[in-house]
Chains A and B, each alone.
Chain A
Amino acid sequence: MRPNATDPTLLQPGRWSFWRDSRFLQALAQAIFVVLVLIAGRWLVGNLFTSLEERGLDLNFQFLQRTAGFGIGEGLPFERTDSFWRAFVVGFVNSIRVIVFGLALATVLGILAGISLLSGNWLLRNLVSAYVEVMRNTPLLVQLFFIYFGIILKLPSLQERLIVGQFSLSNRGFYFPRAVPQDGATLWLVLAGAALVGGIILYRILLKKRILTGSETWPGLKAGLLIFGIPLISWFLIPGNPFTLEYPDLVGLRMEGGARLTPEFAGILIGLVLYTGAFIADIVRAGILAVPKGQLEAAKASGLTQAQVLRLVILPQAMRVIIPPLTNQYLNLAKNSSLAVGVGFPDLYNISSTIFNQSGQAVQVISLMMVTYLLMSLLISAVMNVLNERLKIPER
């Protein structure tokens, strides 16, 4: 109970016993809490050591050096004789691939769908809202199974694949030509990179000048010329093409050459993008609605086109409302990428579970996997926090 501060007798020091002092009581409660946690921890760890001993296991990470002995379908090159650690890295990189592509595509889809939810076109609006409702109200895993087993694997076989030019689609994946770097590739890439950086700098300088002086300086046009012009010219100037195309071709049972999108990668990517896109669409819709109507009317009154209103007035303001919930969706996407195991894509979770099965080292494998996911989540939150800070309305 709180001491009654208005009672003058209580204000005199030494009038109440120490066990009635709330500071003492708080310290005591915390000490008891710590002791309880320690006892529970001691008990759990004690059991752990007994169980480990019983099973001839230990807690060190030496086993990661052992030969894995299994194969991995896609990702970085991996041999049967490589170590468990290498397998873990392959899984990690595969997860990162899914997450990065997923984030980019889900954002694009989400923004488009979010704008469509407010479209004046009745058909579009209702179609998109049906899509959003279906995606939001069914489990991602069911969607993944349906997309992978019900759609992708029902595509024609490799022998009867759908061919358009050098592109082909079958239940073995989507094959397309691959650019193979030649001798001049490095030089060309360096030039193109320099042109890109130069173009961005030029754009900024010209834009600032236009804002300051009010005279038209054509920033977009000039920067565009620089960015696209130099790579184009150097393509022809560098002897031999910097890149040649390699076309996929059916050799015996499988396609050789070219680049490939595997059904598993496509399955998890499409699933994640459609699912997260629906959530992002709702966030974008709410964000746009949060922009005061006066802003829209004022923008229209100043003669901006519909697209300009959206790009220059609505979206920048909506972004501030959108970013925090968007961060949550990005985190969800990263975490949901672990469902790749359902469609057989060798991601971090899938490979960790295989490593656990083959090595039996539950504690280490699970801790390593969870820490990795935790770090990924922290990284995404950190990046989004920085973005959020930059988009804040500057305090004047």
Chain B
Amino acid sequence: MGRVETSSIKPPVTSQGVLGWLRANLFSNWFNSLLTIIFMVLIYVVARSVLIWSVQEANWLAVVDNLGVLTWGRYPSTEVWRLGLSLSLIVVMGTLTWILWYRHSNPRIRRVLMIGWLLMPFVLTILIRGIILPTFRTIVNNIGYYIVRPDVLISLDQTWRANGALTLAGLLTGASWVIFKKLRSRSLAIVGGLVIIALMIPLSTQSRPWIFGITMPMAIPFLVTFSLSLLVGRAVGLSFVNVTGSARVLAAWWLLSIPIILIVLTTFEVGNEAVDPVEALLIVPPNIWSGILLTLALSVVSIVASFPIGVLLALGRRSSLPVVKGFSILFIELVRGVPLITILFMAQVMLPLFLPLEVNIDRVLRAMAGMTLFTAAYLAEIVRGGLQVVRNEQIEAARALGLNEFLVTSLVVLPQALRAVIPPIMGQFVSIFKDTSLVAIVGLLDVLAVSESVIKARDYLGAVREMYLFVGLFYFVLSYAMSQVSRRLEVQLGVVEKD
């Protein structure tokens, strides 16, 4: 509490008014005076010409008239409200969090907010990309195919849906087996899994070429999928076996899984308008996202997606399993050793060669994948630094309490490690946000590329500086805001900056 005491006795005022301040800060010795004069002349010359240019010569209309195109690019103009809605959703959620998080640090409110933020990516994806929903007729009709005409599913190339549903059902059944204690709940869960399996029986008898072109009955991949997800579900369930509320969460998942499974199984078209799923929101594929929308989508997706991968890679690098460790090191060092642009270039021209001819990944998605892997490698190194900060006693104490490895890592190690490295992580996010501009070089229409394209119109010719200044300002405002947030977090969490 020494601070309070010292602040009560203020130091004597040393500066004497404006003149004193000037003297102390600008003209303290001959060298400083010289510097001040030189820089003042410099500022005058630059500021004057910039002012004259921006008032008299600059064609700011090039920016003003094209704000729409710069923002949403080729997004259909009738659907732009969806972008507005997404933005307002984020703003509302952000403000709510801002207000509620610290003032009422009620765990229930916090939990609701957390769930809201976790749902955000899905809601935004659906809103921006659009969605096809099955109608009731579609569901009935298309489920019928699994039972009576599985051959049609094969000819429509929709059998992957069965695997999707089986994976979800397997995960939930596996988790239920260890988490649910009561016989009735257990048997209900097993019934749930069995229903999905039963649905797939007709399809299982069909054969089609699988990996490496070997034709086999579909029962084999189905069995593999289901048993693998059963095992994974069991493993995950084991980690939560004694956590309070886990049974309730799992039950909620079961309930949630019903619409998900139905959507997964039935959103395919059979060419009959009467029963085909309807476009509830017009699909706007990522390929035509452009402008600021693309820039933000690229950054948000790579930031969100790279985080778990980066943490896994960091854990992998410290793993005691030599294969996992070697793989992580190889990946991290390879990616960190090459420029991002070469990775984007590879994703655009080399990746398609490695995929089957009939598989096409959207160009924007390819860029997202490239940026995600790139960021993940850098994040992994940052997180590894954080992991080194966590003291060994912490881990030993957690183990002594009987936590298993998964819980030790997720409840003790990671929270401490991540807290220590929040500033560099934010720095990395700022950096990836700025790096999205590189997609302009590989031909995607981000805000930079759109700005180059719109000044080709007759009215805005030659407005190069105006456009680049606008784009620069856009990046500056957001990056600066991000770094300010990072500084606040730093102060709040009491983390010392490590440069």
| Mutual binders A and B | yes
Tell me if B338 and A370 are in contact (CB < 8 A).
yes
Tell me if A137 and B479 are in contact (CB < 8 A).
yes
Tell me if A54 and B342 are in contact (CB < 8 A).
no
Of B85-93, B190-198, B437-445, the one contacting chain A is B437-445
Tell me if A29 and B321 are in contact (CB < 8 A).
yes
Tell me if B339 and A30 are in contact (CB < 8 A).
no
Residues in A neighbouring B254, C-beta threshold 8 A: none
Tell me if B437 and A141 are in contact (CB < 8 A).
yes
- Most chain B CB within 10 A, of A123, A134, A339, is at A123
Tell me if B468 and A146 are in contact (CB < 8 A).
yes
Tell me if A137 and B483 are in contact (CB < 8 A).
yes
Shortest beta-carbon distance from A38 to chain B in Å: 12
Of A42-50, A103-111, A201-209, A213-221, the one contacting chain B is A42-50
* A1-B404, A120-B32 as given contacts; A146 in contact with B469, CB under 8 Å: yes
Residues in B neighbouring A45, C-beta threshold 8 A: 354
B9 on interface, CB distance cutoff 8 Å: no
How many A-B contacts at CB < 8 Å in the complex? 166
Tell me if A30 and B324 are in contact (CB < 8 A).
yes
- Most chain A CB within 10 A, of B320, B341, B356, B357, is at B341
Q: Chain B: which residue is nearest A290 at the CB level?
A: B499
Q: How many residues of B contact A (CB 8 A)?
A: 62
Q: Chain A: which residue is nearest B469 at the CB level?
A: A146
Docked Cα-Cα span, A146 to B50, in Å, equals 14
A140 on interface, CB distance cutoff 8 Å: yes
Residues in B neighbouring A1, C-beta threshold 8 A: 238, 404
Shortest beta-carbon distance from A188 to chain B in Å: 39
Residues in B neighbouring A287, C-beta threshold 8 A: 499
* A123-B35, A342-B441 as given contacts; A54 in contact with B357, CB under 8 Å: yes
Tell me if B334 and A356 are in contact (CB < 8 A).
no
Of B132-140, B286-294, B470-478, the one contacting chain A is B470-478
Among A127, A145, A283, A325, point to the contact of B39 (Cβ < 8 A).
A127
Of B122-130, B266-274, B343-351, the one contacting chain A is B343-351
Q: Chain A: which residue is nearest B405 at the CB level?
A: A2
A121-149 interface bits toward B, Cβ cutoff 8 Å, 1 = contact, 0 = none: 11110010000011011111111011001
Tell me if A43 and B480 are in contact (CB < 8 A).
no
B304-336 interface bits toward A, Cβ cutoff 8 Å, 1 = contact, 0 = none: 000000000000000011111001000000101
Docked Cα-Cα span, A46 to B211, in Å, equals 11
Tell me if B337 and A121 are in contact (CB < 8 A).
no
Q: Chain B: which residue is nearest A124 at the CB level?
A: B35
Shortest beta-carbon distance from A142 to chain B in Å: 5
B456 on interface, CB distance cutoff 8 Å: no
Shortest beta-carbon distance from B450 to chain A in Å: 13
A368-381 interface bits toward B, Cβ cutoff 8 Å, 1 = contact, 0 = none: 01100110011000
Tell me if B323 and A149 are in contact (CB < 8 A).
no
Among B321, B349, B468, B471, point to the contact of A149 (Cβ < 8 A).
B468
A39 on interface, CB distance cutoff 8 Å: yes
A65 on interface, CB distance cutoff 8 Å: no
Tell me if A51 and B350 are in contact (CB < 8 A).
no
Docked Cα-Cα span, A136 to B24, in Å, equals 30
Docked Cα-Cα span, A342 to B341, in Å, equals 11
Residues in A neighbouring B434, C-beta threshold 8 A: 137-140
B211-239 interface bits toward A, Cβ cutoff 8 Å, 1 = contact, 0 = none: 11000000000000000000000000010
Q: Chain B: which residue is nearest A369 at the CB level?
A: B342
Q: Chain B: which residue is nearest A57 at the CB level?
A: B353
B415-438 interface bits toward A, Cβ cutoff 8 Å, 1 = contact, 0 = none: 000000000000000100011111
Q: Chain B: which residue is nearest A287 at the CB level?
A: B499
Among B36, B334, B468, point to the contact of A374 (Cβ < 8 A).
B334
Residues in A neighbouring B211, C-beta threshold 8 A: 39, 43
* A2-B399, A50-B357 as given contacts; A370 in contact with B346, CB under 8 Å: yes
Residues in A neighbouring B324, C-beta threshold 8 A: 30, 33
Interface residues of A in 146-160 (CB under 8 A from B): 146, 149-150
Residues in A neighbouring B394, C-beta threshold 8 A: none
Shortest beta-carbon distance from B30 to chain A in Å: 12
* A30-B321, A124-B39, A138-B479 as given contacts; A150 in contact with B337, CB under 8 Å: no
Docked Cα-Cα span, A33 to B322, in Å, equals 11
Q: Chain A: which residue is nearest B482 at the CB level?
A: A137
Shortest beta-carbon distance from A234 to chain B in Å: 39
B28 on interface, CB distance cutoff 8 Å: yes
- Could you list 22 A-B pairs, sorted by A, with CB under 8 Å? A30-B322, A37-B327, A51-B352, A121-B35, A121-B36, A122-B26, A127-B39, A137-B483, A138-B434, A139-B434, A142-B468, A142-B472, A146-B469, A150-B464, A150-B465, A337-B339, A338-B339, A338-B341, A349-B341, A363-B350, A374-B334, A374-B337
Query: Which chain A residues have a beta carbon within 8 Å of chain B's beta carbons?
Result: 1-2, 26, 29-30, 33-34, 37, 39, 42-48, 50-52, 54, 119-124, 127, 133-134, 136-143, 145-146, 149-150, 282-283, 286-287, 325, 331, 335-339, 341-342, 349, 353, 356, 362-363, 366, 369-370, 373-374, 377-378
Given A47-B355, A137-B434, A337-B339: 14 more A-B contacts, CB < 8 Å? A2-B405, A48-B353, A51-B352, A121-B32, A123-B39, A136-B483, A137-B476, A141-B440, A142-B448, A349-B341, A349-B342, A366-B342, A373-B337, A373-B338
Query: Which chain B residues have a beta carbon within 8 Å of chain A's beta carbons?
Result: 24-26, 28, 32, 35-36, 39-40, 43, 211-212, 238, 320-324, 327, 334, 336-342, 345-346, 349-350, 352-357, 399, 404-405, 430, 434-438, 440-441, 448, 464-465, 468-469, 471-472, 475-476, 479-480, 483, 497, 499
Query: 8 closest A-B pairs (Cβ-Cβ)?
Result: A122-B25, A137-B479, A335-B339, A139-B434, A338-B339, A139-B437, A286-B499, A374-B337
